[in-house]
Amino acid sequence: MKPITAVVLGAGSRGCSYSGYAREYPEALQIVAVAEPRADRRDLLAQELNIPESNRFASWQELLARPRMADCVFVCTMDDDHTAPAIQAMELGYHVLLEKPMSNTEAECRLIADTASRTGRALAVCHVLRYTPFYMTLKNLIDQGQVGEVTVINQIENVGYWHQAHSFVRGNWRTVRETSPMILQKSCHDMDILLWLMGKDCRRVQSFGSLRHFTPENAPEGAPERCLDGCPHAERCPYYAPALYMDMRRTGWPVDVITTDLSEAGRRKALEEGPYGRCVYRCDNDVVDRQVVNLEFEGGAVATFTMTAFSADFSRQLKIFGTEGQITADMGTNQIVLHRFGEEKQTIPVDAARSGHGGGDYGILRDFLHVLRHGGESRTSANVSLQSHLICFAAEKSRKEHIVVEL
């Protein structure tokens, strides 16, 4: 059996996250080309996967100008640069694994879904949670009827104070203008998973939230523009950049985002000159640091969702309430407790995660490759994912306009 061949568009954090799978399972997946403007990132991935010079491109535009050179593309560029490569690739006959969010506008999300239907190409959106052993176990319990009819789900997304600072204050996703609002960028996973767990269409959405903490008014007295400019609050500030990035034992994400030179000097230079060394109270960020969403589903089941920047842990927790029992679950500890009414509590075993995002990174790849080989529809196809994206757009409208949005 020949491996499925793929090209990577955008060799940043996500583009590189699939290379491990290609190395571990060369009989299943072979990555044959890469497009990436940053030469150091491009060469790093290309060397890891033995991609020849002739198949290294400086942009997705350059790669897609060539005749089709593989079975599928992995679109791993930034949020505002998903639509054009995804559509162009499908028109060329590629199947597409598309990073979330599909796009940062509703019209483009619809266009992507329409193009997938028209061209008959498989398109899977990287809603990795659906492929984690943790959420698959929860879905099985619900589908088996272990809690009766689901009436309420409460989910909390603990973004983590350092992760918020890294991605949503200093980093890539700090402004809606350049990328996407938080609900679409980060919490589209949550809207998607709530929709999946409920197994019903969402009817009404309401949301509140704002950016209150990471603003110039909250800068402590005397805080300079950059942490390394002699900040007097270095000892007490939990967001002090050297504390987050200069621990030399740490070499993976998110430290590897700030520079490819992970020496002490390389990191220091990145903090002195790049975005990740800025004081969190003196950035050009505008995305929310707290948000809640209320959702009502067909038949009256409801869900609440909380996103908070201000958590020590970096995980999701949820509680599922049914007519015959409840489930308490914590993705951080991989623990699921089922309590059927009138019976003893049971701890439900969950398989250990074998890749990033709680096992979801390899899970989605396996499912996508299976669809390409054997047909069928991906669990996170364009049409399925469009629904959760529409919930995100509705939630953002509700948050900004203070209204309940009917879907």
Ligand X SMILES: NC(=O)c1ccc[n+]([C@@H]2O[C@H](COP(=O)([O-])OP(=O)(O)OC[C@H]3O[C@@H](n4cnc5c(N)ncnc54)[C@H](O)[C@@H]3O)[C@@H](O)[C@H]2O)c1
DSSP conformational letter for 381: B
Distance from the first to the final alpha carbon of the chain: 45
Contact with ligand X (CB under 6 A) among 79, 190, 330, 367: 79
Do 76 and 50 touch, CB atoms closer than 8 A? no
Continuous segment of H or E residues that includes residue 269: helix 264-273
Min dist. Cβ of residue 361 to ligand X (A)? 8
Contact with ligand X (CB under 6 A) among 4, 6, 7, 11: 11
Beta pairing class for 345-348 and 335-340: antiparallel
Going by C-alpha positions, the residue among 312, 313, 295 that lies closest to residue 304 is 295
* Residue 379 interacts with ligand X (CB under 6 A): yes or no: no
- Restricting to residues 222-281, which ones interact with ligand X according to CB under 6 A? none
Q: Which stretch binds ligand X (CB under 6 A): 71-79, 154-162, 198-206, 262-270?
A: 71-79
Query: What is the rounded distance in angstroms from the CA atom of residue 100 to the CA atom of residue 117?
Result: 19
* Residue 389 interacts with ligand X (CB under 6 A): yes or no: no
Contact with ligand X (CB under 6 A) among 4, 6, 7, 10: 10
In this structure, what token pair is assigned to residue 308? 């908070």
Do 8 and 45 touch, CB atoms closer than 8 A? yes
Query: What is the rounded distance in angstroms from the CA atom of residue 399 to the CA atom of residue 293?
Result: 9
For ligand X, the closer CB: 39 or 404: 39
Min dist. Cβ of residue 17 to ligand X (A)? 8
Contact with ligand X (CB under 6 A) among 6, 18, 49, 60: 60
What are phi and psi for residue 228, nearest 5 degrees?
-80, -5
Min dist. Cβ of residue 295 to ligand X (A)? 21
For ligand X, the closer CB: 153 or 258: 258
For ligand X, the closer CB: 30 or 77: 77
* Residue 59 interacts with ligand X (CB under 6 A): yes or no: yes
For ligand X, the closer CB: 35 or 182: 35
- Restricting to residues 116-135, which ones interact with ligand X according to CB under 6 A? 126, 128
Query: What is the rounded distance in angstroms from the CA atom of residue 126 to the CA atom of residue 323?
Result: 32
Number of residues that bind ligand X (CB under 6 A): 27
Binding pattern to ligand X, positions 14-43, x when CB under 6 A?
xx-------------------xxxx--x--
Give the three-class secondary structure for 266: helix
Query: What is the rounded distance in angstroms from the CA atom of residue 227 to the CA atom of residue 325?
Result: 50
Contact with ligand X (CB under 6 A) among 18, 44, 97, 100: 100
Find tokens 């469009």 and name the residue: 386
Contact with ligand X (CB under 6 A) among 250, 268, 319, 357: 357
Contact with ligand X (CB under 6 A) among 44, 46, 70, 76: 76
Query: What is the rounded distance in angstroms from the CA atom of residue 44 to the CA atom of residue 50?
Result: 10
For ligand X, the closer CB: 86 or 141: 86
Query: What is the rounded distance in angstroms from the CA atom of residue 270 to the CA atom of residue 247?
Result: 14
Residue whose CB is nearest to ligand X in the complex, by number? 12
Min dist. Cβ of residue 382 to ligand X (A)? 15
Binding pattern to ligand X, positions 157-196, x when CB under 6 A?
---------------x------------x-----------
Min dist. Cβ of residue 372 to ligand X (A)? 19
Strand intervals (E) in 111-267:
123-125, 150-158, 202-210
Residue/partner pairs of 52-61 with CB below 8 Å, 24 or more apart: 57/33, 59/35, 60/9, 60/10, 60/35, 60/85
Name the residues that contact ligand X, by CB under 6 A. 9-15, 35-38, 41, 59-61, 76-79, 81, 99-100, 126, 128, 172, 185, 357
